């Protein structure tokens, strides 16, 4: 059975974690600002339903990758004294995952928004 108090606490912990990562991670702040801009452009250009789905999906994937990256960095920092040879490699691999997710998001954003921008320029 679902306990309302326990469920409520889990949401508090989740929002606390989200707040912390938003305050402390500069890249997530930049990604958040970019996401706000993309959503604004989506409304401005009245993009299609499928474009909204793609836009929200890629924004979510980039946020998730950045949050996972932050968590992995913290774990590796705790383990650093014992297995320091792998810490840099692990962090580099996670940074690459975030970079690829961001690059894919940029490409899809361009595919969605460039036709609308070109129409404005005509």
Which CATH number is 112's domain given?
Answer: 1.10.287
The span from the CA of 59 to the CA of 117, in Å, is 20
Query: How many structural domains comprise the chain?
Result: 1
**Domain hosting residue 89, numbered range:** 26-121
pLDDT at 30: 95
- Position 10 in a domain: no
pLDDT at 87: 86
C-alpha neighbours within 13 Å on the C-beta side of residue 10: 6
Going by pLDDT thresholds of 50, 70 and 90, the confidence category of residue 41 is: very high
Asked whether residue 78 carries a pLDDT value surpassing 90, the answer given is no
- Position 85 in a domain: yes
Report pLDDT digits (tens) over 8-36. 899 999 999 999 999 999 999 999 999 99
pLDDT at 109: 97
pLDDT at 81: 67
* Angle at 100 (CA atoms; ends 18, 116), nearest 5 degrees: 90
- Position 19 in a domain: no
pTM: 0.87
The span from the CA of 32 to the CA of 117, in Å, is 22
pLDDT at 4: 86
Over range 75-81, report the average pLDDT: 82
Asked whether residue 62 carries a pLDDT value surpassing 80, the answer given is yes
């Amino acid at each position: 059975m679902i306990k309302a108090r326990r469920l409520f606490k889990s949401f508090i912990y989740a929002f606390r974690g989200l707040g912390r990562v938003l305050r402390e991670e500069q890249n997530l702040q930049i990604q958040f600002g970019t996401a706000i801009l993309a959503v604004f452009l989506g409304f401005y250009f009245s993009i299609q339903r499928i474009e909204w789905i793609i836009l929200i999906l890629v924004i979510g994937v980039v946020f998730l990758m950045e949050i996972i990256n932050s968590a992995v960095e913290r774990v590796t920092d705790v383990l650093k004294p014992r297995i320091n040879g792998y810490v840099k490699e692990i962090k580099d691999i996670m940074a690459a995952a975030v970079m690829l997710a961001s690059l894919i998001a940029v490409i899809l954003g361009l595919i969605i928004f460039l036709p609308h921008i070109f129409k404005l320029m005509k």
